[in-house]
Amino acid sequence: MIEVLRKIVQAVNDADDLTQALELIVHEVRGAMQTEVCTVYLKDRSSQRLVFRATEGLNKEKIGAFSLSIDEGLVGWVASRGEMLNLDDAMAHPSFQLVPGLGEESFNTFMGAPIIHQRDLLGVLVVQQADTRRFSDAEEAFLITISAQLAAIIAHAEVTGAAMAVDTPAEQVARIQGVAGSPGIAIGQAVYVSPTADLGAVPSRRASNRRQEMRIFRSALARVRDDIEVVAENLREELSPEDHALFGVYLSILDDSTLGGEVAALIKAGEWAQGALSQVMIKHIRHFERMEHSYLRERAVDVRDLGTRVLTYLQDENENREDWPERTILVADEITASTLGEVPRERLAGVVSLRGSANSHAAIVARGMGIPAVMGAYDLPYNRLGDKPLVVDGYSGRVYINPSRQVLDRFQVAVDQDQALSEELAGLRGELCQTLDGKRIPLWVNTGIIEDLEGALDQGAEGVGLYRTEVGFLLRDRFPSEEEQRLLYREQLEVFAPSPVTMRTLDIGGDKSLPYFPIQEDNPFLGWRGIRVTLDHPEIFLAQVRAMLKANEGLGNLRVLLPMISAVEEADEALALIRRCHEEVIAEGYMEGLPPVGVMIEVPSAVWLTGALASRVDFLSVGSNDLTQYLLAVDRNNARVADLYHGLHPAVLGALRQIVDAAHLKGCSVSICGEMAGDPRAVPLLLAMGFDQLSMSAINLPRVKKVINSLTMADANEALAGLEGIHSSREVIEIAEGLIERKGLDRYVRLNRDSG
41 contacts: CB under 8 Å, gap ≥ 6? 50, 51, 52, 53, 67, 68, 75, 79, 123, 124, 126
Determine contact, residues 536/573, Cβ cutoff 8 Å. Answer: no
- Residues near 296 by Cβ (< 8 Å), separated by ≥ 6? 288
Q: By C-beta, is 313 or 619 nearer to ligand PEP?
A: 619
The option from ligand PEP, Mg ion, none interacting with 123 (CB < 5 to 8 A, set by class) reads: none
Nearer to Mg ion by Cβ, of 328 and 628: the residue is 628
Q: Which of 379, 511, 626, 675 binds Mg ion (CB under 5 A)?
A: 626
Q: In 127-209, which residue ranges form alpha helices assigned H by DSSP?
A: 137-162
Considering the complex, state which of residue 303 and residue 597 has its C-beta at the smaller distance from ligand PEP.
597
Q: Does position 626 bind ligand PEP by CB under 6 A?
A: yes
User: Which of these, 75, 76, 34, lies nearest to 56 by C-alpha position?
Assistant: 34
Mark the segment that binds ligand PEP (CB under 6 A) among 119-127, 208-216, 471-479, 624-632.
624-632
Neighbours of 519 (CB within 10 A): 15
Buried b (16+ CB within 10 A) or exposed e, 506-515: bbbbbbbbbe
Q: Which residue stretch of 205-213, 262-270, 620-628, 714-722 sits at the interface with ligand PEP (rule: CB under 6 A)?
A: 620-628
| Catalytic center residues | 361, 673
**Strand locations in 118-221 (E):** 120-129, 174-177, 179-182, 185-193
Phi-psi region of 386 (alpha: psi -120 to 50; beta: other; left: phi over 0): left
Stretch that binds ligand PEP, among 8-16, 22-30, 68-76, 617-625 (CB under 6 A): 617-625
**How many residues comprise the chain?**
756
Residues 429-468 that bind ligand PEP (CB under 6 A): 466, 468
Q: Is 623 in the site for Mg ion (CB under 5 A)?
A: yes
For position 674 contacting ligand PEP by CB under 6 A, the verdict is yes
510 near Mg ion (CB under 5 A): no
* Region of 227-235, 254-262, 328-336, 618-626 interacting with Mg ion (CB under 5 A): 618-626
Judged by CB under 6 A, does residue 673 bind ligand PEP? yes
182 within 8 A of 371, measured Cβ to Cβ = yes
Stretch that binds Mg ion, among 130-138, 497-505, 626-634, 640-648 (CB under 5 A): 626-634
Question: Residue 310: enclosing H or E segment and its boundaries?
Answer: helix 294-318
Considering only 184, 480, 509, 623, the residue that binds ligand PEP (CB under 6 A) is 623
Taking CB under 6 A as the rule, does residue 602 contact ligand PEP?
Answer: yes
The smaller minimum CB distance to ligand PEP, of residues 188 and 370, is found at 370
In whole angstroms, what is the distance from residue 16 CA to residue 14 CA?
6
Work out the number of other CB atoms within 10 angstroms of the CB of residue 727: 10
Site string for ligand PEP, 464-503 (x = CB under 6 A): --x-x-----------------------------------
Residues 6+ apart with CB under 8 A from 387: 189, 190, 191, 205, 325
Q: What is the rounded CA–CA span in Å between residue 11 and residue 29?
A: 12
Restricting to residues 141-160, name those near Mg ion by CB under 5 A: none
74 binds, among Mg ion, ligand PEP, none (CB under 5 to 8 A by kind): none
Q: Going by C-beta distance under 8 Å and a sequence separation of 6 or more, which residues neighbour residue 218?
A: none
Residue 23 near which of ligand PEP, Mg ion, none (CB within 5-8 Å, type-dependent): none
If contact means CB under 5 to 8 A according to the sort of partner, which of Mg ion, ligand PEP, none does residue 740 touch? none
* Binding at 468: pick from Mg ion, ligand PEP, none (beta carbon under 5-8 Å per type): ligand PEP
Pattern of binders to ligand PEP over 112-151, x per CB under 6 A?
----------------------------------------
Q: Using CB under 6 A as the criterion, which residues of the chain lie in contact with ligand PEP when the complex forms?
A: 364, 466, 468, 507, 602, 623-626, 673-674
